[in-house]
Amino acid sequence: MIAAMEPLYEGKAKRLWATNDPDVLRMEFKNDATAFNGEKKASFDDKGRLNNAISTRIYQLLESEGVPTHLVRRIDDTSAEVRKVEILPVEVIVRNFAAGSFCRRTGMAEGTPFSRSVIEFSYKNDELGDPLINEDYIREMKLASEAELSHLRARALEVNGILTRLFDECGLRLVDFKLEFGRLATDPSRIVLADEISPDGCRLWDKKTGEKMDKDRFRRDLGGVMEAYREVLDRISDLLD
Ligand code: TMP
Ligand code: ASP
């Protein structure tokens, strides 16, 4: 068989490649980083490997806790095999403390704890800049069914519980994170967690020092971006391996 020369899909931080199995894709993590809807760009040596390693370990933990994901297995430093899905065009964001766009919208001080986790949705659309939407928008735009939507909420909270505990044991505070879900190509009635969970799509603060250990280091030009990602991987590996 001739190896595929063109990816099936190329996003800002990942490429998807065909495999011999039509229901399985290879997800390759790139070293590229973008922020502010692609306005700010950079490339970091080792980022692809670090995010693949972090995301794979987290998805294996979630699977072991009963959360279905697209992960099949990590196949090399920068890629993993994943089950083919149709990504729902809704990003699910879970927030435990005020940060980022929540603070910009509300004026609340960064780091303010929430009495209950805040779930937020955004419409996955680069041209529109992934705007914030609510459940009524999702219904009217037919982005997901009512049943799928309640499933997303429930899963997002379940994942939040598992990840909050994981990171807490690593000395990290899980401030917020973004999830993406997909309908399995082999059975679209089944929704699984897709995309990735890495410091690119989470806010993680060191519990002792308050230091940011995630992509905000890049967004805000704080330096030491890969050092932070590497530290997150080391702490997770110490706990899970
Ligand atoms: P926000 O505060 O900028 O809305 O981000 C909330 C969380 O979602 C944060 O952990 C970063 C993550 N996120 C993404 O993964 N992709 C995005 O495009 C954006 C805007 C945020
Ligand atoms: N991921 C988005 C981008 O690439 C935004 C962000 O994470 O800040 O532009």
pLDDT in tens, the chain (241 residues): 556 689 999 999 999 999 999 999 999 999 999 999 999 999 999 999 999 999 999 999 999 999 999 999 999 999 999 999 999 999 999 999 999 999 999 999 999 999 999 999 999 999 999 999 999 999 999 999 999 999 999 999 999 999 999 999 999 999 999 999 999 999 999 999 999 999 999 999 999 999 999 999 999 999 999 999 999 999 999 999 8
Residues sharing a CB contact under 8 Å with residue 225, sequence separation 6 or more, in sequence order: 33, 44, 47, 215, 217, 218
CA of 123 to the centre of ligand 2 (A): 14
**pTM beyond 0.95:** yes
Pocket of ligand 1, candidates 93, 97, 174, 202: which has the most ligand atoms within 8 Å of its Cβ, to mutate?
A: 93
* Phi/psi at 30 (5° precision): -90, 165
- Dihedral of the alpha carbons of 160, 121, 60, 240, in degrees to the nearest 10: -40
CA of 187 to the centre of ligand 1 (A): 29
35 lines ligand 2 (CB under 6 A): yes
CA–CA separation, 4 and 24 (whole Å)? 14
| pLDDT at residue number 157 | 98
Nearest to 192 by CA among 94, 119, 86, 118: 86
- Which numbered ligand comes closest to the C-alpha of 197? 1
| pLDDT at residue number 3 | 61
CA–CA separation, 10 and 29 (whole Å)? 10
What is the Cα 57 distance to its own chain's centre?
Answer: 13
Ligand 1: which residue has its CA nearest to atom 18?
37
CA of 37 to the centre of ligand 2 (A): 5
Residue 177: strand pairing partners: 94, 202
As to burial, measured by CB atoms within 10 angstroms (0-12 exposed, 13-18 middle, 19+ buried), residue 185 is: middle
CA–CA separation, 121 and 123 (whole Å)? 7
For strand 113-123 and strand 79-83, is the pairing parallel, antiparallel, or unpaired?
Answer: unpaired
Which residues contact ligand 1 via a Cβ below 6 A? 93, 99-102, 130, 176-178, 201-203
Strand order through the sheet with 71-76:
9-10, 14-18, 24-29, 79-83, 71-76
Ligand 1: which residue has its CA nearest to atom 7?
177
CA of 59 to the centre of ligand 2 (A): 21
